[in-house]
Structure 1
Amino acid sequence: MAKARLFRLGLALGSVGMVLLIIVYWDSVGTAHFAPHTAVSRPHTLGPRPSPEQAVGRELTPDMDAFLENLLGAGTKQNVPPGRKTEPPPLPTPSRPPLGSVEESVRGYDWSSHAAQQGPDSDRRQAERRGVLRDFCANASFVFPAKERSFDDIPNYELNHLIVDDRHGVIYCYVPKVACTNWKRVMIVLSQSLLHGGAPYRDPLDIPREDVHNSSTHLTFNKFWRRYGRLSRHLMKVKLQKYTKFLFVRDPFVRLISAFRSKFELENEEFYRRFAVPMLRAYANLTSLPASVSEAFSAGLKVTFSHFIQYLLDPRTEKLAPFNEHWRQVHRLCHPCQIEYDFVGKLETLDQDAAQLLRLLKVDGQLHFPPSYRNRTASSWEEDWFSEIPLAWRRQLYKLYEADFVLFGYPKPEHLLRG
């Protein structure tokens, strides 16, 4: 009996020793062992960075990250027997999307062909976008809330927009109202995080919208704590150094218009109860409101764009809860001054940027980016939408979203801000 207890004690001590050895190795050698891909906490001195082609084309070297993931039973990479070659599946032919929601049915898809030309201009455009981000994040005179905090200072719940694909070494920060439904579909196909009939999806448009936006479908940074515990931040940093990180952005004011149209001009029960009812009570002085959005719409009770702007500018809004993700600033969703992105796409150049990114990720032979929505919220509409908004409100709104305008290279909308 005593020998058995000693044996079990020896096993336990050995396991603890192994974990301690891993941690010591990780802290002293692990991250230094890699040629850093990008800085996690952005330095304030500018230096040369690897090109996107170098970043995407590198091999993911076997390292302590992979060993630790396997040890923890969390590895997602498929094991291929030595000597066996894997052939990529044939490129699926895009099919008509399942119209699983009113919003998707109303907006429709653009099925016309778009020539997505690649070349020096595309590479130069990416270099310029990343350069603008780098310069303004390093510019001490350009200040906005939370700019100077480190990656470690960002709470886990603020990392819920960073989707990880370990199979291809990709991290995508999704921004609502910037083609995020279809980029999430692409990430599901790449990561094989969702099965249909026992097999992974191959065509992004086959994935139902409700599954796309189900948070359980995606591995995001905020879930790392449950999986890795105290090692979660260390793993995040290693993946941020090694993986290719991208996001897509949009003119901030046009994004706001798009958010208003999809969430308040269409019958949306959740947004009616959570946001429209409080707005109508606070800014339309209505006390007795219907219980359902259909009843409200039938009675002609709708939130106006003016109510929406008042809500965004009201200091009580942020005190009650952070902005909803559909109108939260991009820098608060994706933390571009703490995470150095390798690819910055824009909705205004979606076709070209999507084709370039899939090519850089070396997955353009495996899938197409789904046909983009017919964009019914154009930049040229800004003057019409803001015509009834007082000038003082417009200027306050610009200050609220100024960091997004500046960081992502969108010109200040002087035509809306002049007296």
Structure 2
Amino acid sequence: MPGEQGKARCISLKMSKSRVFQFCGIISCVFMILLIIFYWNHVAIVHFYLDTAFIKVQATHFQSTLNQIQGHQNSKMPTGERITSSTATVQDNLEFKFLENTEGYQGEKSYPKINQTFNEISRAPFEEKVQGYELGINSGKTSTELEWIQNERKQNIKDACTDSSIMFSGKNRKFDDIPNKELDHLVVDDRHGIIYCYVPKVACTNWKRIMIVLSESVLKQGIPYHDPLEIPKDLVHSSNSHSTFSKFWKRYGKFSKQLMKIRLKKYTKFLFVRDPFVRLISAFRSKFAVQNNDFYSRFARQMLKLYANCSDPPETVKEAFSAGIKPTFKNFIQYLLDPQTEKEMPFNEHWKQIYRLCHPCQINYDFIGKLESLDEDASYLLKLLNVEKLVQFPTSSRNQTVASWESDWFAKIPVAWRRKLYEIYKPDFVVFGYPKPTNLLVD
């Protein structure tokens, strides 16, 4: 009996030890899993900096591989213009590889050397400003004078965004709160570290051409465009020709906003603006004063029905123009002032307020250009970006709308309507430093 009891105790002891080992094994596994999660949360973002820096420095070494990839992809497409995204393709693959677990990222202070390296690579072209010499621009201003103008424009935006007496929709929200669909005007060039917020009717066609040339995102018979004016207009405005913030969600999912904020901090950001009322005149002239079937069917027919006593407008713009039926500028202003317009559909990008397109209170732009000084600003910006030897901004005087036309265009618009219109576009006047059009707002 004692022997049997001893055996039972031994068996019980062994089972107890086995349970202890099993428990320790489980604890060890849990610990390793937590350690792996912690490691990836804090290290994955480092790889993003290294990969981006590597791409910027070693872009030429990728070219042969990229050409092979592009050749394989383009072989499936028709000859002629083919769209590509060479550097972005490699960067996307690397970002996917290392950014699968970036939740919990606590900032860049833990990686000062990597952060410094990325800063030097991505920001140097903009920050290396040479002062005191003539830029060869028509105005004859020195870079110091142009820099002062830029500082004044940026300070004006900052003042308007921090002034509690100036209120407008979306002013106080955070960047994280901006819906993804509202970020589709932010065009990204990862090759040179540039972000451009395009504003329709503010030379955006030519600036998009510049971005295509720099990013090499569109090919013609396998070769990137070098002359902006050679790029067909339909490709210029094709969504496939540009990498935009709104596309990040499809690429990176829940990590998209974090990657956007990294680029916003590291890249040079610019936009071009224009007197809001003159921009409206330009939008009307290009979309409704000439035959544009798309805008006629989407907007003009509705304007004619609601404001021009035309209950059954022709189906096509050709038929309408042949019959002398077209919306007037007054009808267009009625459409903008009608509260029902935005309830049914947000403003089209061609007349949507600039602050709603580019979010100046959430994005700290490095350069604010104005159409009124386009040639001067464009030349200065390309020099700051250190790309003036790669591309020149096209100059064109075709179809320009000038500020001196305002009085004539608004002559038939009642003063009460002008005042309401000013309230709608007042944030653009204030934020971007345009004077209040007092002469149009008084009886």
TM-score normalized by the length of structure 1: 0.77
Are the equivalent residues in 2 in contact too, given 1:175–1:248 (CA < 8 A)?
yes
- Name the SS of the counterpart of 1:274 in structure 2: helix
**Structure 1: any 5+ residue segments left out of the alignment?**
1-13, 31-62, 83-112
Are the equivalent residues in 1 in contact too, given 2:194–2:268 (CA < 8 A)?
yes
Runs of at least 4 residues off by over 2 Å: 14-26, 63-71, 75-82, 113-118, 372-376
Please say if 1:341 is aligned against 2:335: no
Please say if 1:318 is aligned against 2:342: yes
| Aligned-pair CA distance for 1:123 | 1.0
Q: Specify which structure has the higher proportion of helix.
A: 2
Residue 140 of structure 2 aligns to which amino acid in structure 1? Q
Partners in 2 of 1:416 and 1:134 — Cα distance? 27
| Aligned-pair CA distance for 1:141 | 1.5
Match of 1:174 in 2: 198
Partners in 1 of 2:395 and 2:416 — Cα distance? 39
- Name the SS of the counterpart of 2:59 in structure 1: coil
- Name the SS of the counterpart of 2:310 in structure 1: coil
TM-aligned CA distance change 1:244 to 1:354, over 3 Å: same
Partners in 1 of 2:325 and 2:137 — Cα distance? 40
Indicate the structure whose relative CO is greater, using CA pairs within 8 Å and at least 6 residues apart. Answer: 1
Residue 117 of structure 1 aligns to which amino acid in structure 2? G
Match of 1:80 in 2: 60
Partners in 2 of 1:152 and 1:123 — Cα distance? 30
String of CA shifts for 1:355-402, please: whole Å, max 9, x gaps.
000000000011110113345311011010000000110000000000
Partners in 1 of 2:281 and 2:36 — Cα distance? 55
| Aligned-pair CA distance for 1:117 | 3.4
Match of 1:262 in 2: 286
Partners in 2 of 1:68 and 1:156 — Cα distance? 25
String of CA shifts for 1:256-283, please: whole Å, max 9, x gaps.
0000000001100000000000010011
Q: Please, what is the CA RMSD of the aligned residues? A: 2.4
Are the equivalent residues in 1 in contact too, given 2:56–2:192 (CA < 8 A)?
no
Match of 2:42 in 1: 24
| Aligned-pair CA distance for 1:77 | 7.9
| Aligned-pair CA distance for 1:23 | 3.0
Match of 1:274 in 2: 298
TM-aligned CA distance change 1:24 to 1:275, over 3 Å: same
1:190-269 to 2 correspondences below 5 Å = 190-269=214-293
TM-score normalized by the length of structure 2: 0.73
Please say if 1:306 is aligned against 2:330: yes
| Aligned-pair CA distance for 1:284 | 1.0
- Name the SS of the counterpart of 1:367 in structure 2: coil
| Aligned-pair CA distance for 1:25 | 3.6
| Aligned-pair CA distance for 1:288 | 1.5
TM-aligned CA distance change 1:15 to 1:218, over 3 Å: farther
Count, aligned residues = 339
Residue 65 of structure 1 aligns to which amino acid in structure 2? F
Partners in 1 of 2:289 and 2:33 — Cα distance? 59
| Aligned-pair CA distance for 1:290 | 1.2
1:340-419 to 2 correspondences below 5 Å = 340-374=364-398, 376-419=400-443
Are the equivalent residues in 2 in contact too, given 1:163–1:221 (CA < 8 A)?
yes
Match of 2:127 in 1: none
String of CA shifts for 1:317-338, please: whole Å, max 9, x gaps.
0001110000000000000000
Partners in 2 of 1:390 and 1:372 — Cα distance? 34
Residue 22 of structure 1 aligns to which amino acid in structure 2? W
